[in-house]
Amino acid sequence: MDELLRINNLKTHFFTKKGVVPAVDGVSISVPQSSVIGVVGESGCGKSMTAMSIMQLVQKPGRIIDGSIELEGEDLLKYSGDNMRNIRGNKISMIFQEPMTALNPVYTVGRQVTEAIRIHHHDIDKEEAKKMALDIFNAVGIPEPDRRFNSYPHQLSGGLRQRVMIGMAMVCNPRLMIADEPTTALDVTIEAQILFLMKKLQEERGTSILLITHNLGVVAEICDYVYVMYAGKVMEQANTFELFKNTSHQYTEGLMKSIPKITAEKERLYNIKGVVPNLMKLPKGCRFCPRCEKAMPRCFMEEPPLYKVKTVVENAGEHYARCFLCESSEVMNDD
Amino acid sequence: MMTKQIGDTLIRTVDLVKEFEISGGDFFGRNKPRVHATSNVNIQINKGETYALVGESGCGKSTLGRLMLKLIEPTSGHVEFEGININELPSEEMREIRKKMQIIFQDPYASLNPRMNVYDIIAEPLVTHHVCKTKDETKERVKELMERVGIRPEFINRYPHQFSGGQRQRIGIARALALQPQLIICDEPVSALDVSIQSQILNLLHDLQEEFNLTYLFISHDLSVVRYISDRVCVMFLGKVCEIGNTEDIFGNPLHPYTKFLIDAVPKPDPFLRKENKQLLHGDIPSPVNPPTGCRFHTRCPYAKDICSEIEPEMKNVDNKQVACHLI
Amino acid sequence: MEDIKVTDNETVEQLRQDYENMQAEIADTDGIMDKIKAMIKNNKLATISLIVILIFCFCAIFAPVVAPHDPTLQDYDNVRAHPSRDHILGTDELGRDVFSRIIYGARISLVIGIVPTTISMVIGTILGLMAGFMGKKVDFVIMRLADIMLAFPSLLLAMVVMYTLGASLINIFIALSVVNWAGTARVVRSQTLALKEKEFVEAAESIGVKKSVIMLRHILPNCLPSLIVLFTMDIPGSILSESSLSFLGIGAQPPASSWGLMVVNGKQWLFSEPWVAIAPGVAILILVLAFNFLGDGLRDAIDPYMKE
């Protein structure tokens, strides 16, 4: 598969008065054309900051200090100001957890969508833009698009708002859509609708989706390939099926065992001990070792690289895990 | 799984209705629109069981929890705790009953007073009800509680902001346990927490129940969690009860169409269970200000018939379960 | 083989413990005092303002020591003298040293800044808490009263009070307190309403804590940051009001030296001997600005509610 987006050794650090917070600390992610890539992790693992870094929306005191972000071979980090604005919304778009914060409450959703179109395509007149907006409203399954076109964001339900957001993100046919916890604020039945919609749009339009979530269920449901992040680093990466079948990192394993499953019989839940570490005081070795059941003295001394893991699922592509227990001859080279 | 001692009815609601007035209406403030938060809810919780209230936003599950604690007064109907109608109790006697029921909140950041330290927070119920005679005794008891919920007792003088979300939730649990209550209402106790912390809290709640023979009313929108922790489940939609039954029956053989869709909609953390043509529930949740006539679910129900939009379904006993649906 | 494993486990346990202890050490420092300390470190303007205010306070308290002359000593040989080494800011129409009079005047200005503001804060806080917490009729009565207060131009109201009661220090306190409580009451009420909905208040209710205790232990302490800010912001208002009242002749009475009074006396010679009027005017300006900057700084540092 062709590569659409390639993030190499990205480092986004926050320089606060109390110290440096390495929110993203050497992350490499690859997004192939027309695929759904999941980034999963708990709060503070750096998943949202990775997304913000791609959009170059990192707020002060944060700064991208190293690495490259290549979209179809062009390094986005070399772009600035106007050039980047042209990429945002046009080639890469983003949707957020709470659509209300991303929509302007004083304009109708129709106006906001048409403006989004006209920002990137100056040659399109208002009538045409409106037609495009109504088309996209139809495509994202908004009932009565004509009426909704003139609604204000607060008049819509959470699910409809998220549909509007997705419509706005898709209207310029971006190559990549970054979805940051798109369904976390929604009810279960609405969540299922939105996930289904995203998958459908991805298949129909060939847009790639970078899905950022804390929910392994969502990952299992629609992602092709998954990156598991912890404390600013990728801990494990694999094809979704491979990841669930051949879980190799202790953290991923702990996460999977600690979620209650609606399908399974009742049994005592597994606990990952301790708490998510403070990023300002990370352990010297493996970042997960203080909470890891199988930690060895070595884990406290040196940090493991991403080792290649032998896959068990066919055609699963490459599987890496940052754990000495998976030690093998092959190490991801750009780490 | 251990076997629990399930006893007689501890608390029950009788035709509980709660309507909130919201802004609007005419110039003189008449005919204000009303949110129908709960409508004629009859549930009963037995001693020692974990009773889960499940539903999506606006279904009235949190309101029901607060009604049962008498934090708000019902529009009509009443709540009986150990056979006593608590809505007619004078406030002094109600204070005695309050000792027996406590609440754990969803947001561990909002549920602890930021200006009180851990000692003050956990000791508040003890001080209010004069449980301990001396300050030293109170302190001992607080430390005991902290240890029990997994907070280091030496942190007794720290303030809430010095703890992580999971630790704060533990402090909230310690406060709820302080008076050795019979009933604890858990209002979405784990939905604001990270996955790895969530399981710690769920296990803690589970252990505490065994140790102190607690009864839980577990309010949640997360069906996986409900399946894990509860003995009986009550599914609500727009202020009405759809289906009540044992957890295994509800999840194994849901009867009400809404229950079926709800369970089906949960993303399963196993890619091998992906369904290509998952049946989705269409449309949005109707507004609780103008709930649909008849069965409140009929606007979204793919099996709805004419009768569903006209007549409200009665609760029926089917296969060990109570269901409110015309089609069953 | 077995032995090695045991020691390994012990090392790991030890290392894990070490790390946990290290983590436990890091506790955010977010108390009010810590925030003020952080403000002093980061906000230069507020820090300078704080120092200026402290200098004024010091001068006011130790006026007899700091002032080079007796502020009431009249020296008819030296009437409206230019600033010189002996009289840094010159002398006024009676030959009194302007600098010394400003230092003594700081006493009145600071007292008038602080005392009525404190009184109005206390009244406003109590009424605001009651209005917010009890709601319904109590709320309606208190808030309409506050609205009426706020509808009057405050200086006019203070003037009415002063005319009716006569000019004296105590009456200035009363006049300014009557004028200022309504603003505080509004802020406290709105915060009480917001705090009342918080889950920790609900938790206290579910425990069976009495309403009065909830008000004092849960709501009031959480209003404190805003009250501190409001306090610093209200003081300059009082100082200015006093100056205005003195300027109009119904504030401090001679021979007491209030800054407002000094400006009045000096205004006739504004063009020939400007220091007589401008020096006290600048003193008012500096003190008022200092309080305003400090208030701004405090608000940014400690008040979680007033920030947008």
User: How far off is chain B from A190, nearest CA to CA, in Å?
Assistant: 7
> What chains are in contact with C, requiring at least 3 Cβ pairs below 8 Å?
A, B
Residue A129 burial (CB count, 10 A):
20
A44-55 average pLDDT score = 89
**Tokens, residue A153:** 């964001």
Angle between helices C220-247 and C154-165 (to 10 degrees): 70
In this predicted structure, the answer to whether residue A255 has a pLDDT above a threshold of 50 is yes
Cα-to-chain-centroid distance, residue C176: 14
Q: Across the strands, what pairs with A3?
A: A32
Q: Which among C207, C213, C218 has the least Cβ separation from residue B113?
A: C218
Q: Which residues of B touch C205 (CB under 8 A)?
A: 71
Same domain, A204 and A272: no
Do the chains contact at C206 and B103, CB–CB below 8 Å? yes
φ and ψ at A8, to 5 degrees?
-115, 120
| Domain residue extents for chain B | 9-22+33-253
Residue-wise DSSP of B218-269: EEES-HHHHHHH-SEEEEEETTEEEEEEEHHHHHHS--SHHHHHHHHHSPPS
CATH code, C136: 1.10.3720.10
Tens of pLDDT, residues C171-213: 888 888 887 888 899 999 999 998 888 889 989 988 888 888 9
User: Does any CB of chain A come closer than 8 Å to the CB of residue C4?
Assistant: no
Three-class SS state of B300: coil
Do the chains contact at C208 and B71, CB–CB below 8 Å? no
Residue B4 burial (CB count, 10 A):
16
CB A223 within 8 A of CB A38: yes
CA distance A216 to A200: 20
Same domain, A292 and A194: no
Q: Across the strands, what pairs with B102?
A: B184
User: How far off is chain B from A75, nearest CA to CA, in Å?
Assistant: 34
**Tokens, residue C17:** 């413990």
CA distance A311 to A288: 23
In this predicted structure, the answer to whether residue B165 has a pLDDT above a threshold of 70 is yes
User: How far off is chain A from B300, nearest CA to CA, in Å?
Assistant: 11
Determine the pLDDT at residue A1: 56
Q: Which residues of C touch B111 (CB under 8 A)?
A: 199-200, 202-203
Q: Which residues of C touch B94 (CB under 8 A)?
A: 208
**Does the reported pTM lie above 0.80?**
yes
Do the chains contact at A278 and C23, CB–CB below 8 Å? yes
User: How far off is chain B from C12, nearest CA to CA, in Å?
Assistant: 21
For residue C216, give every residue at least 6 positions away whose Cβ sits within 8 Å of its Cβ, in sequence order, or none: none
Query: C295 vs A70, B86, C53, C241, C244, CA distance in Å?
Result: 48, 49, 12, 18, 22
Percent of chain C with pLDDT over 90: 10
φ and ψ at B239, to 5 degrees?
80, 0
Q: What is the domain count for chain A?
A: 2
Same domain, A101 and A113: yes
User: How far off is chain B from A334, nearest CA to CA, in Å?
Assistant: 29
Domain boundary among A214, A230, A246: A230
Q: Which residues of C touch B130 (CB under 8 A)?
A: none
In this predicted structure, the answer to whether residue C30 has a pLDDT above a threshold of 60 is no
B300-323 average pLDDT score = 87
Least CA distance to C11: which residue of chain A? Answer: A297
C88-108 average pLDDT score = 81
In this predicted structure, the answer to whether residue C55 has a pLDDT above a threshold of 80 is yes
Q: Which residues of C touch A289 (CB under 8 A)?
A: 15-16
Residue C76, classified by CB atoms within 10 Å of its CB into exposed (0-12), middle (13-18) or buried (19+), is exposed
Same domain, A19 and A122: yes
**Type and span of the H or E element at C298:** helix C275-302
Strands (E), chain A: 3-16, 19-32, 36-40, 62-71, 74-75, 92-95, 176-180, 208-213, 225-230, 233-239, 307-308, 320-321
User: Does any CB of chain C come closer than 8 Å to the CB of residue A105?
Assistant: no
Confidence of residue C6 (pLDDT cuts 50, 70, 90): very low
| Inside any domain, residue C90 | yes
CB A248 within 8 A of CB A236: yes
| Inside any domain, residue C61 | yes
Q: Which residues of A touch B198 (CB under 8 A)?
A: 258-259
Do the chains contact at B271 and A195, CB–CB below 8 Å? no
User: How far off is chain B from C24, nearest CA to CA, in Å?
Assistant: 9
Q: What angle do CA B62, B65, B69 make, to 5 degrees?
A: 140
Query: A317 vs A179, A199, A218, C12, C193, CA distance in Å?
Result: 24, 21, 21, 34, 57
Tens of pLDDT, residues A77-98: 888 778 888 888 888 998 888 7
For residue C213, give every residue at least 6 positions away whose Cβ sits within 8 Å of its Cβ, in sequence order, or none: B128, C204
Least CA distance to C15: which residue of chain A? Answer: A300
Least CA distance to B151: which residue of chain C? Answer: C24
What's the complex ipTM? 0.84
Same domain, A117 and A73: yes
User: Does any CB of chain A come closer than 8 Å to the CB of residue B283?
Assistant: yes
Determine the pLDDT at residue C25: 59
B30-36 average pLDDT score = 80
CATH code, A44: 3.40.50.300
In this predicted structure, the answer to whether residue C4 has a pLDDT above a threshold of 50 is no
For residue A243, give every residue at least 6 positions away whose Cβ sits within 8 Å of its Cβ, in sequence order, or none: A226, A228, A236, A252, A319
In this predicted structure, the answer to whether residue B260 has a pLDDT above a threshold of 50 is yes
Determine the pLDDT at residue C224: 84
User: How far off is chain A from C49, nearest CA to CA, in Å?
Assistant: 23
Do the chains contact at A191 and B200, CB–CB below 8 Å? no
CB B258 within 8 A of CB A208: no
Do the chains contact at A290 and C8, CB–CB below 8 Å? no
**Tokens, residue A73:** 């071979």
The number of C-beta contacts closer than 8 angstroms across A and B is 137
Least CA distance to C25: which residue of chain A? Answer: A281
User: How far off is chain A from C187, nearest CA to CA, in Å?
Assistant: 27
**CATH fold for domain B9-22+33-253:** Rossmann fold (3.40.50)
CA distance B326 to B313: 6
> What chains are in contact with A, requiring at least 3 Cβ pairs below 8 Å?
B, C
CB A224 within 8 A of CB A239: yes
Q: Which residues of A touch B224 (CB under 8 A)?
A: 217, 259-262
Same domain, A141 and A71: yes
Q: What is the domain count for chain C?
A: 1
Do the chains contact at B71 and C217, CB–CB below 8 Å? no
Q: Which residues of B touch C223 (CB under 8 A)?
A: none
In this predicted structure, the answer to whether residue B1 has a pLDDT above a threshold of 60 is no
CA distance B286 to A101: 23
CB A198 within 8 A of CB A209: yes
Q: Which residues of B touch C213 (CB under 8 A)?
A: 128
Q: Which among C198, C199, C208 has the least Cβ separation from residue B128?
A: C208
Which residues, numbered 23 to 62 in chain C, qualify as contacts with chain A under a Cβ-Cβ cut-off of 8 Å?
A: 23, 26, 42
User: How far off is chain A from C232, nearest CA to CA, in Å?
Assistant: 27
Least CA distance to A161: which residue of chain B? Answer: B284
| Chain B contact probe: residue of A155, A196, A219, A269 with most B CBs at under 10 A | A269
A29-43 average pLDDT score = 92
Three-class SS state of A183: coil
Determine the pLDDT at residue B29: 65
Least CA distance to A251: which residue of chain B? Answer: B196
CB B242 within 8 A of CB B256: yes
Determine the pLDDT at residue C304: 52
Three-class SS state of A285: coil
Determine the pLDDT at residue C5: 47
Do the chains contact at B113 and C222, CB–CB below 8 Å? yes
In this predicted structure, the answer to whether residue C307 has a pLDDT above a threshold of 70 is no
| Chain B contact probe: residue of C140, C206, C302 with most B CBs at under 10 A | C206
Q: Which among B1, B229, B268 has the least Cβ separation from residue A220?
A: B268
Do the chains contact at C208 and B114, CB–CB below 8 Å? no
Query: What's the first-to-final CA gap in chain C, in angstroms?
Result: 64
Confidence of residue C1 (pLDDT cuts 50, 70, 90): very low
Same domain, A220 and A175: yes
User: Does any CB of chain C come closer than 8 Å to the CB of residue A188?
Assistant: no
CA distance B287 to B1: 40
- B217 vs A102 pLDDT, higher one: B217
CA distance B255 to B323: 7
In this predicted structure, the answer to whether residue C234 has a pLDDT above a threshold of 90 is no
- C54 vs C81 pLDDT, higher one: C54
Q: What angle do CA A309, A310, A313 make, to 5 degrees?
A: 115
Least CA distance to C16: which residue of chain A? Answer: A290
Percent of chain B with pLDDT over 90: 35
Determine the pLDDT at residue C24: 61
Q: Which among C28, C203, C222 has the least Cβ separation from residue B115?
A: C222
| Inside any domain, residue C78 | yes
User: How far off is chain B from A46, nearest CA to CA, in Å?
Assistant: 14
CA distance A215 to B203: 19
User: How far off is chain A from B227, nearest CA to CA, in Å?
Assistant: 6
| Inside any domain, residue C26 | no
Q: Which among B167, B272, B281 has the least Cβ separation from residue A241?
A: B272
Do the chains contact at A296 and C12, CB–CB below 8 Å? yes
Domain holding A193, by residue range, is 3-230
Tens of pLDDT, residues B61-76: 889 999 999 888 899 9
CA distance C211 to C214: 5
Determine the pLDDT at residue A333: 64
In this predicted structure, the answer to whether residue B5 has a pLDDT above a threshold of 70 is no
Tens of pLDDT, residues B280-292: 888 788 888 888 8
Same domain, A263 and A222: no
Domain holding C97, by residue range, is 31-306
Q: Which residues of A touch C11 (CB under 8 A)?
A: 297
User: How far off is chain B from A3, nearest CA to CA, in Å?
Assistant: 24
Give me the residue label for tokens 């109790």: B89
For residue B262, give every residue at least 6 positions away whose Cβ sits within 8 Å of its Cβ, in sequence order, or none: A188, A189, B54, B56, B223, B235
CB C154 within 8 A of CB C241: yes
In this predicted structure, the answer to whether residue A5 has a pLDDT above a threshold of 90 is yes
Confidence of residue A265 (pLDDT cuts 50, 70, 90): low
Domain boundary among A176, A198, A230: A230
Domain boundary among A178, A206, A230: A230
For residue A83, give every residue at least 6 positions away whose Cβ sits within 8 Å of its Cβ, in sequence order, or none: none
In this predicted structure, the answer to whether residue A335 has a pLDDT above a threshold of 50 is no
Confidence of residue A27 (pLDDT cuts 50, 70, 90): very high
In this predicted structure, the answer to whether residue C50 has a pLDDT above a threshold of 50 is yes
In this predicted structure, the answer to whether residue A218 has a pLDDT above a threshold of 50 is yes
CB B226 within 8 A of CB B247: yes
